[in-house]
Structure 1
Amino acid sequence: MTPTIEQSFVRQFEHDVHQAYQRLGAKLRPTVRSKTAVKGSSTTFQKVGKGTASTKARHGKVPVMNVDHGSVECLLQDFYAGEWLDALDELKVGHNERDVIVNAGAYALGRKTDELIIRSLDQSTHFAGADTDGLTKAKILAAFEALGDADVPDDGQRYAVIGWRQWSQLLDIPEFADADYVGEEDLPWKGAQAKQWLGTLWMAHSGLTLQNDVRFCHWYHKTAVGHASGQDVKSDITWHGDRAAHFINNMMSQGATLIDQTGVVTLRCREV
C-alpha cells in the first residue's frame, strides 16, 4: 500500500466492514424495532396502549377506544473501533491483514450494538420464577404464561435470548431437544445457536448480564425494545507518515431503549 489512499480502496473497505458487521456482528438488532438515519442526538419511539371495543345505539355515535398514546426517548451515542495497519504488513504475513481488521472492527461494533440492546432489556422488572436455580421447564412455562397474560402477540415476533449455560440446560428438556416432541427437522443439534420453540426464536448469547452468579435472560416481543442508528458503520482511513502506517477508524452512532416493559419477561438463572 502506498501513502496515497485510493477512494476505491476506501469504499471497498467500508463496504467490507458493513457487510461483516451485518454477518458477524450484532445478533440482536434484527430482533427489535429499528430506526435508521436518525438526525440529532435522540429519537422517540411511539408506544400505544390497548383499545376497548363497545357497542352503540342505532344512529348513535361510534364509541371512542381512548387508546393511551405515549413516546419513549432513545439517546444516541458515538462509538469508535480503530486499528493501525502498517504499510509493509501485508508483505510479511501469510494472510490478508485487511480482512483481519475488517472482521475485528465489525465484531467490536456488533458487540457494542448488542450491549446497548441487552442494557435496555435489563431494565425489565417483569420476572418469571426465582433466581435460585437455572433454566428449568417450570421457569420457562411461567414466562410463557406471563407473556400470554400480558396479551403479548404470538405472531412470530417473539425472541428469547439466553446464555450458553442455559442453552445447555435446554438440551436436557425433552420437549426442546427430543425428536419425539419437535420432529427430526427441528432438533437443536442442527445449527446449535438458534431454534424455534413455543412460537419463539431461541438463541444463545455470550454477552448477557451476569450479576452475583445470576444470568439475566430475556423473552420478549420485537416491539418491546427499540434500536436507533444515526450513523451506521462507517470507516475512515488516513495515512500517518511518521508511523509508516494507515490508521483505520470504524465508527457508528447508535442507541437502544426499552419501549414497553409488558413485552419483556426476564428469566434470572443461577450459574454455579
Structure 2
Amino acid sequence: MSTQIEQAFVKHFESEVHQAYQRQGSKLRATVRSKSNIKGASTTFQKVGKGTASTKARHGQVPVMSIDHEPVECLLADYYAGDWVDKLDELKVNIDERMVVANAGAYALGRKTDELIIAALDESTNFAGADTDGLTKPKVLEAFELLGVADVPDDGDRVAVVGWKQWSELLGIKEFANADYIGQEELPWKGTQAKRWLGALWMPHSGLTLNAGVRFCHWFHKSAVGHASGADVSSDITWHGDRAAHFVNNMMSQGACLIDADGVVTMRALET
C-alpha cells in the first residue's frame, strides 16, 4: 500500500508541474512554430520559398513553380531543475511545499524555453532604426515597413515582444494607448499585459537580451522561428534516507532555431 501511495504522490506532483508550466512557465512557446514528441537529438523545419504563377499555351503543360525547400536543423538539449524537500521541514511550514517546488521547477523550465526562443530571435540582423534611442514611433513604423517589404504575411500571426522599459515607452505613444485610436477593447492595461496593434500581438517580456544598455526587441511572424520538444516537462521524485529528504527533479528536452531571417525584425532600444 505504501508503494502505491508513493506512486500516486509522484503522479500528482508531475501533473501539478505540467499545469504550472502550461499556465505561466513560457510566454513565447505558443507564438512560434512548435513540434512535439521529437525522436532523436535534432529535428528539421522546412523553409519554403516563394512560388511564381505564369501562363501556359493551349494544351500545353502547366508550368512547375519549383519552390525551394531549405531544411533548417533544430538541435535539442536536455535541461533539469531540481531541489530538495526535507521531510521534517514540511512539518514546520504553513505552505504547500510541494506546490511551491512544483511551481518553481515549472517556471525555471519555462524561462529556459523562452531563453531558447529569444536566442533564436537574436540571430536576426534585420534592424529597424539605430540603437541610440528608445523604442520610438518612427522605429516601430520602420519595422512595420520592413516586414511589409519582405512580404511577411499579415495574417494575425505576427508577434512583437519588447522589454518592460519599452512597454512603458509605448504607453507614451497615443496611437498605442489611446482609446480614440484603438478602441476600448485594445487598451494595453486591460487584463493581461498584451494587446494587438498594427496587426500584431504586442507583449512585454523581462528576459529579452540586454547588451551594453541596449535591449533587443523583436517583431516576428510565427512561421519564422521553430521550437522543438523531445520530452515535455516531467518530474521524478526520489527519497534519500541519508538526507531524510525527497529530491524533486523536473526535466525537459527542447530546442529552438531561426527558420526564416526575413520574418524577424529587431528593434534595438537604448535603456537609460
Q: TM-score normalised by the shorter chain: which range applies?
A: over 0.9
Shift of 1:192: 4.9
Name 1:103's counterpart in structure 2: 103
Q: Following superposition of structure 1 onto structure 2, how do residues 47-86 of structure 1 map, counting pairs within 5 Å?
A: 47-86=47-86
Which secondary structure state, in structure 2, belongs to the residue aligned with residue 70 of structure 1?
strand
In 1, distance between residues paired with 2:226 and 2:185?
32
CA distance in 2 between counterparts of 1:128 and 1:203 reads 18
Q: What does residue 139 of structure 1 align with?
A: 139
**Which residue in the other structure is 1:43 paired with?**
43
Cα distance in 2 for residues equivalent to 1:142 and 1:32:
23
- Asked if 1:188 corresponds to 2:188, the answer is yes
SS in structure 2 of the partner of residue 90 of structure 1 = helix
Q: Distance in 2 between matches of 1:236 and 1:116?
A: 23
Asked if structure 2 preserves the Cα contact closer than 8 Å seen for 1:3 and 1:239, the reply is no
CA separation of 1:110 and 1:146: change in aligned 2, threshold 3 A? same
Task: Tell me if the contact between 1:224 and 1:259 (Cα under 8 Å) persists in the aligned partners.
Answer: yes
Equivalent residue, structure 2, for 1:10? 10
Question: Which SS does the other structure have where 1:181 is aligned?
Answer: helix
Correspondence 1:184-263 to 2 at 5 A? 184-263=184-263
Q: Give the deviation of 1:89 after TM superposition.
A: 2.2
**Percent identity among equivalent residues?**
74
Measured after TM superposition, the shift of residue 3 of structure 1 is 9.3
Moved segments of 4+, more than 3 Å: 2-5
Q: List alignment gaps of at least 5 residues for structure 1.
A: none
Cα distance in 2, alignment partners of residues 46 and 259 from structure 1: 8
User: 1:14 Cα deviation (Å)?
Assistant: 0.4
TM-score, scaled relative to structure 1: 0.98
SS in 1 for 2:134: coil
What is the rounded CA distance, in whole Å, between the counterparts of 2:205 and 2:133 in structure 1?
19
Instruction: Name 2:21's counterpart in structure 1.
Output: 21
For 2:240 and 2:3, the matched residues in 1 are separated by: 8
Aligned to 2:121: 121
In structure 1, the partner of 2:94 is 94
Consecutive unaligned residues of structure 2, counting only runs of 5 or more, are none
Cα deviation, residue 203, structure 1: 0.4
**Structure 1 residue 164 displacement after superposition:** 0.2
| Alignment deviations for residues 64-92 of structure 1 (CA, whole Å, 9 cap, x no partner) | 11211110000000000000011122211
In the TM superposition, residue 184 of structure 1 has moved relative to its aligned partner by: 1.5
C-alpha contact (below 8 Å) 1:3/1:241 kept by paired residues: no
Amino acid across the alignment from 2:45: F
Which shifted more, 86-95 or 169-178? 86-95
- Alignment check: 8 A CA contact 1:165 1:271 kept: yes
Q: 2:185 and 2:267 mapped to 1: Cα distance?
A: 27
Which residue pairs with 2:151 in the alignment? Answer: 151
Q: State the distance in 2 between where 1:173 and 1:205 align.
A: 19
- Matched to 2:47, the amino acid is K
Aligned residues of 1:159 and 1:200 also touching (Cα < 8 A): yes
The C-alpha deviation readout for 1:182-233, integer Å capped at 9, x for no partner, is 1112111113521011110000000000001110000000000000000000
